[in-house]
Amino acid sequence: MTNKTVTEQHVVIWFRSDLRVVDNTALNHAIDSGLPIIALFIATPMQWHQHNIAAVQVDFIHRRLQVLKQQLAKRNIPLQVIEVNDFAESVHVIDQVCFDYNAVHVFANKQYPINEQQRDNSVGELIAKKGIKFSIFDDNYILQPETVLTRDGELFKVFTPFRNAWIKRFTLSPSYPVTKKSDIVTSDAVIKLLSISNPIKAFNYPIIDSVLWPVDEETIAQRLETFFETKAETYHQNRDFPAIDGTSCLSPYLAIGALSARQCLYQLLQHFPNALEINKDDGAFTWLNEIVWREFYGHLLHRYPELSQYQPFQKFTQFVQWKDDAVLLKAWQEGKTGFPIVDAAMRQLRSTGWMHNRLRMITASFLTKDLLCDWRVGEQWFMQHLIDGDFASNNGGWQWAASTGTDAQPYFRVFNPTLQGQRFDPKGDFIRTWVKELEHVPDKYIHTPHQWASAESLNYPLPIVDHKEARLIAIESFKQAKAYM
Ligand code: FAD
């Protein structure tokens, strides 16, 4: 099927979770083709990605697309943004765009959740019938999935040996992979599209403003630079304290691909050439370690499609009898559990889309152990609210906290939310910011306000569970599940 109106051949670059022009493998290959390029982004807000998507992330993506459109236009690449209702429709959009622009080749970077992979298979099959090539690249991780393996060719199921093997395998490419510089050719169709300067239409999806997160290239690069200049050295000391601005806050950019993990690593090694040397007392190494966690979860998702289907990694945990109490769940979601550190974190998540890593661990442990609620419910809640929602990292984090995952903390180790608060927010600075009712509670009672003599004056709930009891019940439930298996 050749389009009669457009005779010149084109190629299509299909952007998904890689919203950048710098260091973009698929884009570089499209440029290498030497043909005029049409860029495409297909928004499926009602069924975005395999899983839920937060309204704040939709807004973030929408804002980033405006920047991407301008950056591409400077390179003679017009960006088309098309909204559809579901993945099936997106397959037809690709087909139609190929037809409209007489495209001979479509380029994209891989997405690993199973629905995305199935969508890509459908696209590949459909356009192959018309003689159009579909090339898809591993771009999202520094080392490609299936390349960090044990001597027997198996995937590591535990993080530390994975990390060690990852470091051994890693070699820094001598040149930093930027956008290809070659002149990008135009065509009549490209010139026509570039001359239309409409802003990208708002998506048909409830939006929460993401303006706290700048989307322009300079500010993102500056954030990375500032992290290395001012925070990286003390990262290992500060990273667990939510009241301290001690981490990079780059995950939203990594999640939508406004920044690549390679860019992060390249800059890290420019500032700290020894960052690859294992040393837990070193900020740069500790940060690298976190980047490798991201790789670990991505590699697992690629190997085990059942993770995309909400299966627990530890098979016995499918027999855990979750309580799934709707009242308790609602209290957790609304930040009204009576455990100040949990409530502060959950309220911040709802109003901003952000939660600190330590608090993700505490709130996930609380939901799954203290409330004995199925981890999948929490996993979805996070995806519906996080600005950095990323299926692999979120699934990995939840399964870790719930003791259902690979490398899980053993099920009998249960976080004590009060002790966690006392340790990581000792004076309650973070709590006071988000739980206004507790603003004037003395430091001594900030983690146990119900024990304060004036507790009745507070409009704040009593603890919804007794942690000691809840802990024993959770451990027993896991024990029974193990015995059942
Ligand atoms: P930094 O501390 O500066 O770390 C640098 C980068 O390393 C991060 O931007 C992130 O890309 C990566 N990273 C750090 N910690 C982890 C980790 N534990 N697992 C995987 N990658 C990591 N991260 C997401 O990006 N998206 C999610 O949806 C997500 N959900 C999570 C759910 C739970 C229950 C838990 C426990 C963790 C989750 N994480 C998720 C991981 C982690 O909490 C965030 O990546 C981190 O808080 C982001 O803050 P930062 O950019 O300041 O990270």
Question: pLDDT tens-digit profile of 297-356?
Answer: 999 999 999 999 889 999 999 999 999 899 999 999 999 999 999 999 999 999 999 999
Cβ–ligand 1 distance for 247 under 6 Å, the answer: yes
| CA distances (Å), origin 122, targets 119, 128, 309 | 5, 10, 19
pLDDT, the chain, mean:
93
Residue 46 banded pLDDT, cuts 50, 70, 90: low
pLDDT exceeds 90 at position 412: no
Span 74-86, average pLDDT: 93
Ligand 1 mean position, distance from CA 167 (Å):
19
Span 274-291, average pLDDT: 96
Q: Whose CA is nearest to atom 16 of ligand 1?
A: 290
Cβ–ligand 1 distance for 361 under 6 Å, the answer: yes
Atom of ligand 1 at shortest distance to CA of 261? 11
Q: Whose CA is nearest to atom 37 of ligand 1?
A: 397
pLDDT exceeds 70 at position 48: no
C-beta neighbour count of 194 within 10 angstroms:
16
Ligand 1 mean position, distance from CA 388 (Å):
8
Rg (C-alpha) for the chain, rounded Å, is 24
Residues identified as active-site: 290, 293, 322, 357, 375, 398
Cβ–ligand 1 distance for 397 under 6 Å, the answer: yes
pLDDT exceeds 80 at position 3: no
The tokens of 12 are what?
A: 């299509």
Query: What percentage of the chain exceeds 90 in pLDDT?
Result: 86
Q: Considering only CA atoms, which of 73, 45, 74, 79 is closest in space to residue 61? A: 45
User: In terms of C-beta density within 10 A (0-12 exposed, 13-18 middle, 19 or more buried), how is residue 164 classed?
Assistant: middle
- Residues comprising the chain, all counted: 485
The model's pLDDT over 237-262, given as tens digits with 9 standing for 90+, comes to: 999 999 999 999 999 999 999 999 99
The model's pLDDT over 378-400, given as tens digits with 9 standing for 90+, comes to: 999 999 999 999 999 999 999 99
pLDDT at 188: 94
Q: Whose CA is nearest to atom 52 of ligand 1?
A: 249
- Between vectors from CA 364 to CA 362 and to CA 369, what angle results, nearest 5°? 95
The answer to whether the complex's ipTM is over 0.95 is yes
Ligand 1 mean position, distance from CA 357 (Å):
6
Residue 93 banded pLDDT, cuts 50, 70, 90: very high
pLDDT at 484: 86
Q: Any idea of the CA torsion for 60, 332, 52, 215, to the nearest 10 degrees? A: 10
The tokens of 21 are what?
A: 């022009």
Atom of ligand 1 at shortest distance to CA of 363? 34
The model's pLDDT over 171-197, given as tens digits with 9 standing for 90+, comes to: 866 566 666 666 788 999 999 999 987
Those residues with Cβ within 8 angstroms of residue 50's Cβ, 6 or more apart along the chain or in another chain = 113, 114, 115, 116, 308, 391
pLDDT exceeds 70 at position 95: yes
Cβ–ligand 1 distance for 398 under 6 Å, the answer: yes
pLDDT exceeds 70 at position 137: yes
**Mean pLDDT lowest among 12-16, 49-53, 72-76, 416-420:** 49-53
Q: Which residues of 220-254 are buried (b: 16+ CB within 10 A; e: fewer)?
A: beebbeebbeebbeebbeebbbbbbebbbbbbbbb
The model's pLDDT over 431-455, given as tens digits with 9 standing for 90+, comes to: 999 999 999 999 999 999 999 999 9
Ligand 1 mean position, distance from CA 142 (Å):
16
Q: Whose CA is nearest to atom 35 of ligand 1?
A: 397
pLDDT at 442: 96
**Mean pLDDT lowest among 5-14, 199-208, 281-290:** 199-208
pLDDT at 406: 86
Atom of ligand 1 at shortest distance to CA of 361? 36
Residue 206 banded pLDDT, cuts 50, 70, 90: confident
pLDDT at 202: 87
pLDDT at 460: 97
Q: Considering only CA atoms, which of 178, 139, 189, 183 is closest in space to residue 38? A: 189
pTM greater than the 0.80 cutoff: yes
Atom of ligand 1 at shortest distance to CA of 394? 30
Q: Considering only CA atoms, which of 208, 166, 178, 204 is closest in space to residue 349? A: 208
Cβ–ligand 1 distance for 259 under 6 Å, the answer: no
Cβ–ligand 1 distance for 428 under 6 Å, the answer: no
